[in-house]
Amino acid sequence: MDLRAELLKSIWYAFTALDVEKSGKVSKSQLKVLSHNLYTVLCIPHDPVALEEHFRDDDDGPVSSQGYMPYLNKYILDKVEEGAFVKENFDELCWTLTAKKNYKPDRNGNSVVSHQDAFKLWCLFNFLSEDKYPLVMVPDEVEYLLKKICTAMNVELNSCELDDYLSQELQGPGGLTVWQFLDMMNSGRFLRGIEQEAISMAVEEVYQEVIEDVLKQARSPHGYLWKKGQLRRNWSERWFMLKPSVLSYYMSEERKEKKGSITLDKHCCVEVLPDRDGKRCMFCVKTSSRTYEMSASDTRQRQEWTLAIQTAIRLQAEGKKSLHKDLKQKRREQREQREQRKAAKEEETQRLKQLQEEKERKLQELELLKEAQRQAEILLQEEEQRRRQQHEEMQRTLEIQLREAEQARASMQAEMVLKEAEAERQRKRILELEDMQERLQEALQQEVKARQDEESVRYAQARLLAEEEEKLKQLMKLKEEQEEYIIKTQREKQVLKQEMENKNKCLEEAQKQLEEVRVNRQRVDQDVMAAQRKLRQASTNVKHWNVQMNRLMHPIGPGDKRTNVSGGGFAGYQTLLSRRDSSLK
């Protein structure tokens, strides 16, 4: 398993923990915070410009894991260098994010494993899980991990009980999720009667062995080794820890003060030494530059350390960095081979089953063929017997038919005579039919002519209907125009009604004015009548005076001429008065 795959497993948990709605998408602000924290724990130089450029988009919606992967690969995973960061800090960051949402220990504090142990079990689960998402651990790896934890506590795992539990929990061919695994550990089902401290020590030992690649480390109180100095050549008690590439030693098991380390490669070797200088159970590690002498507490410890150091040297010679990665790959290959053998066995069983079914089918077909042959023989015998009976019946039938034919011949001769008479009648009937046919043809021609006339009438009727339809369309158009005109007329009527109301108002005002004029006219008429009375009185007076004047003037007139002159002057005066009266009227 390469470093990128290990990091991706932990990041996957962090990403899914941020997916609150379980939609497969996380908000951009949360991804920015996650990316910033990954930069910090992986000791990668921060690149805020690239971060903002990648997430700068008009769409403010969440981002899926597929959308985040290009940035994660390009700006984070491609820049990670192995050994440049503390992987435990990286795992703790991802564990903190995912445990807050998914890990639910016993609220009463009765959990078998502590929170720190749960973190280490989570790391072990990630290491042993399959490289497929969502991450699961197959039953074989679950059993392997539980056995290592139980071995570290010197207890035996109940495999039957584990198989029963897994058969109940697993619903498919996959495996356990990490949360199912932690629930199983917290249930105490496989760790009954064991104190939490012992479980923590066992988990720590397995964690160091599997995750930190510690092939072997000293166990207190008997696990310290004595090491011979290079300069002073004195013996000092040291606490050793072996990894595939280095054997480190410290002042104590707390590993606070490191005193030195021995770099291992393929050219190193380990040898057992005889007892001397008061030291027993001695062995040495030879490198290309120096030989390191050490003494164990007993023979068993010396054997364990020499075998572990030889294993580390073998890994270096094979170019492998981790024993458990190699063991995991071998177990995976064994599982694949087992699955392949199982599949091949099932395939072979299926093939044998098919062959057996084919054999049984062929035997059945053979039995059917035999039965069909027996049936065919029976049918053949029955057919032969039936054919013989039919031949005999046919012979008897032919004899009967021969006698009937002779009788029929005699009857046919008599019938021929009748037929000839009938044929004569038929010839006459044919002549009558031919005559009838001619009349029918004439009637048919008349009918054809009538049909042609009918067609012409129908054509004319169709033309009239078309014209009627055209006129109907025109009528509808006129109706629409009339409706429009009516609407327009109604509108004009409303306008005219408004104008009429206005004119009525004006008419009322004019009537009022007319009444006033009539009153004035009556007053004027009264004045005119008074004036006329005065005029008539004046005219009477004038006439009276004219008479008096005429009477006075007549005796002294010179004659007719003067009279005419006087009369002409009075007539002119009257004309003048009449004009004035007419003007007054």
3-state helix, strand, coil in the chain (%, to 5): 70, 10, 20
pLDDT in the model for residue 123 = 92
Report yes or no on whether pTM surpasses 0.85: no
What percent of the chain lies above the pLDDT cut of 70? 90
127-181 tens-digit pLDDT: 888 888 888 888 888 888 888 888 888 888 888 888 888 888 765 557 888 888 8
pLDDT in the model for residue 310 = 92
pLDDT in the model for residue 322 = 79
Per-residue pLDDT for 271 more than 90?
yes
Query: How far is it, in rounded angstroms, from Cα 71 to Cα 121?
Result: 30
* Under 8 Å between Cβ of 225 and 238: yes
Residue with tokens 């192995």: 82
Q: Measured between alpha carbons, how far is residue 11 from residues 14, 97, 127, 286 in Å?
A: 5, 10, 13, 42
The DSSP bridge partners found for residue 217 are 241
Going by DSSP bridges, is the β-strand pair 25-26/63-64 parallel, antiparallel, or unpaired?
Answer: antiparallel
What mean pLDDT comes out for the span 430-443? 88
Query: How far is it, in rounded angstroms, from Cα 168 to Cα 479?
Result: 87
Query: How far is it, in rounded angstroms, from Cα 293 to Cα 280?
Result: 12
**Chain centroid to CA 147:** 45
Give CA angle at 143 (138, 145), nearest 5°. Answer: 95
pLDDT in the model for residue 218 = 63
The DSSP bridge partners found for residue 25 are 64
Q: Which residue has the higher pLDDT, 83 or 302?
A: 302
> Would you place residue 568 in the very low, low, confident or very high pLDDT band (cuts 50, 70, 90)?
very low
Tell me how crowded residue 397 is: count the other CB atoms within 10 A of its CB. Answer: 11
Q: Measured between alpha carbons, how far is residue 250 from residues 227, 241, 257 in Å?
A: 11, 8, 6
pLDDT in the model for residue 496 = 86
Tell me how crowded residue 203 is: count the other CB atoms within 10 A of its CB. Answer: 24
Query: How far is it, in rounded angstroms, from Cα 91 to Cα 86?
Result: 9
Query: How far is it, in rounded angstroms, from Cα 11 to Cα 135?
Result: 12
Tell me how crowded residue 313 is: count the other CB atoms within 10 A of its CB. Answer: 19
Q: What is the CA radius of gyration of the chain?
A: 68
Tell me how crowded residue 249 is: count the other CB atoms within 10 A of its CB. Answer: 23
pLDDT in the model for residue 219 = 62
What mean pLDDT comes out for the span 260-271? 91
- Backbone φ and ψ for 238, nearest 5 degrees, come out as -130, 155
What mean pLDDT comes out for the span 291-298? 90
414-423 LR contacts (CB < 8 Å, sep 24+): none
Domains of the chain: 214-320 (2.30.29.30)
Burial of 169 (0-12, 13-18, 19+ CB in 10 A): middle
Per-residue pLDDT for 7 more than 80?
yes
Q: Which of 374, 394, 375 is nearest to 386 (CA)?
A: 394
* Summary mean pLDDT of the chain: 83
Query: How far is it, in rounded angstroms, from Cα 13 to Cα 179?
Result: 11
94-135 tens-digit pLDDT: 999 898 888 887 666 667 888 898 899 999 998 888 888 888
Per-residue pLDDT for 564 more than 60?
no
**Chain centroid to CA 335:** 38
Per-residue pLDDT for 563 more than 70?
no
pLDDT in the model for residue 506 = 85
Helix (H) or strand (E) holding 273: strand 269-273
Query: How far is it, in rounded angstroms, from Cα 527 to Cα 563?
Result: 38
* Under 8 Å between Cβ of 207 and 126: no
* Under 8 Å between Cβ of 279 and 295: yes
The DSSP bridge partners found for residue 226 are 237, 295
376-386 tens-digit pLDDT: 999 999 999 99
Q: Which residue has the higher pLDDT, 171 or 210?
A: 210
Going by DSSP bridges, is the β-strand pair 25-26/282-286 parallel, antiparallel, or unpaired?
Answer: unpaired
318-360 tens-digit pLDDT: 888 778 888 888 888 888 888 889 889 989 989 999 999 999 9
* Under 8 Å between Cβ of 285 and 240: no
24-73 tens-digit pLDDT: 788 888 888 888 898 899 898 887 777 777 766 545 556 677 778 888 88
Question: 391: which residues sit within 8 A by CB, 6+ positions away?
Answer: none
Per-residue pLDDT for 562 more than 70?
no
Per-residue pLDDT for 567 more than 50?
no
